[in-house]
């Protein structure tokens, strides 16, 4: 039987330069989709998949997230005094049980691989999930739950994948596929941000991973890859041959909320599913089109 995935690492130490000036004094992961911050969507997806313990890899300017997942005593007292029980529930539902949310600090944003490496003591030799909160996946069941189901069959490392237009392969980690049943693609190689002409496929990795702890053997070396950053894809690629590696074509829709266009699209898509907003928004949107 495959060892259960109980822990999740959420790297949130990036600078979020594409969202300046919004991210000058505020974390990108606190940007809301309708009324909930990206980081909360990611934690909720992970909890729904059975994850019990969380590690947020933070950096400068990210302490706002510690407050978000803590009690807001004054606010809660006011909501209670005013009988706003629905709002009180919303505020309290954001919280993770005490002792199940840890923070690791990435002092320098040296890349995603380095951010994951910063969580190694908390992961402590177990398989673990990684969720990048700026990739928001609208799916039922959630993307990570679908991956854990696949993991229970095939084990090893699993990433969520989707096909991208060939001219966009230079934005993603891309799989070199040796076997593909249409749902699960077994990889024999991985390339970070290949030029479209060199890309071995168009199957791109999105921000959801299930990883075996062997990946830390390679992250320990701090080797730089594409863009001069310590890349997670490179460390995963080194485990090929010793750890099985699959890409799961998840069912659902992914929004790249690290980009302005994806962020706006996600807001529209999520708002159109809200009974309190959908009708009015549909009418408003028509006036712009």
- Which of 79, 173 has the CB closer to ligand UTP? 173
Torsion angle, CA of 194/197/199/203, rounded to 10 degrees? 110
- Identify which of residues 114 and 208 has a Cβ nearer to ligand UTP in the complex: 114
Q: Which of residues 6-35 bind ligand UTP (CB under 6 A)?
A: 11-18, 28
Torsion-angle region of 50 (φ positive above 0: left; ψ -120 to 50: alpha; else: beta):
left
Considering only residues 254-273, where is the footprint of ligand UTP by CB under 6 A?
Answer: 258
To ligand UTP, the closest distance from the beta carbon of 19 in angstroms equals 6
- What part of residues 89-108 is at the interface with ligand UTP (CB under 6 A)? 106
Q: Quote the longest CA-to-CA distance of the chain.
A: 63
Helices of type H across 18-159: 38-48, 64-68, 73-81, 85-93, 112-117, 120-123, 143-154
- Binding of ligand UTP by 110 (CB under 6 A): yes
Closest contact distance (angstroms) between CB of 62 and ligand UTP is: 9
Size of the site for ligand UTP (CB under 6 A): 21
Q: Which of 261, 260, 217, 208 is nearest to 235 (CA)?
A: 217
| Cβ closest to ligand UTP, residue 32 vs residue 280 | 32
Q: Give, as ranges, the residues between 227 and 246 that touch ligand UTP (CB under 6 A).
A: none
In the complex, the smallest distance separating the C-beta of residue 83 from ligand UTP, rounded to whole angstroms, is 38
Residue 115 near ligand UTP by CB under 6 A: yes
State the alpha helices, DSSP H only, in 164-231: 215-219
Strand intervals (E) in 108-202: 128-131, 135-138, 157-163, 173-180, 184-192
Residue number, 177 or 226, with CB nearest to ligand UTP: 226
Scanning 97-105, 130-138, 185-193, 271-279 for contacts with ligand UTP by CB under 6 A, the matching segment is 130-138
Taking phi first (over 0 means left), then psi (-120 to 50 degrees means alpha), and beta for anything else, what does residue 167 get? alpha
d(CA 164, CA 191): 15
- Shortest distance, CB of residue 161 to ligand UTP, whole angstroms? 16
């Amino acid at each position: 039987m495959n060892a259960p995935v109980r822990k999740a690492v959420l790297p949130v130490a990036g600078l979020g330069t594409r969202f300046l000036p919004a991210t000058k004094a505020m974390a990108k992961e606190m940007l809301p989709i309708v009324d909930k911050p990206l980081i909360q969507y990611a934690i909720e997806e992970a909890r729904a998949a059975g994850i019990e313990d969380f590690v947020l890899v933070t950096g400068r300017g990210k302490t706002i997230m510690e407050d978000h997942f803590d009690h807001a005593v004054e606010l809660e007292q006011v909501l209670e005094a005013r009988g706003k029980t629905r709002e009180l529930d919303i505020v309290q539902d954001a919280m993770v049980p005490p002792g199940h949310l840890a923070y690791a600090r990435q002092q320098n944003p040296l890349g995603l691989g380095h951010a994951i490496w910063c969580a190694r003591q908390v992961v402590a030799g177990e398989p673990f999930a990684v969720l990048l909160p700026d990739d928001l996946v609208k799916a039922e069941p959630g993307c990570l739950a679908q991956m854990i189901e696949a993991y229970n069959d095939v084990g090893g490392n699993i990433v969520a994948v989707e096909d991208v237009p060939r001219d966009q392969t230079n934005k993603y980690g891309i799989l070199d596929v040796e076997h593909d049943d249409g749902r699960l693609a077994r990889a024999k190689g991985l390339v970070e941000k290949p030029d479209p002409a060199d890309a071995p496929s168009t199957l791109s990795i999105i921000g959801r991973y299930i990883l075996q702890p062997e990946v830390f053997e390679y992250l320990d070396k701090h080797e730089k890859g594409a863009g001069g950053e310590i890349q997670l894809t490179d460390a995963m690629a080194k485990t090929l041959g010793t750890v099985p590696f699959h890409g799961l074509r998840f069912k659902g829709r992914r929004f790249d909320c690290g980009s302005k266009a994806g962020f706006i699209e996600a807001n529209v898509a999520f708002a159109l599913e809200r009974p309190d907003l959908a009708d009015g928004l549909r009418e408003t949107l028509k006036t712009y089109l």
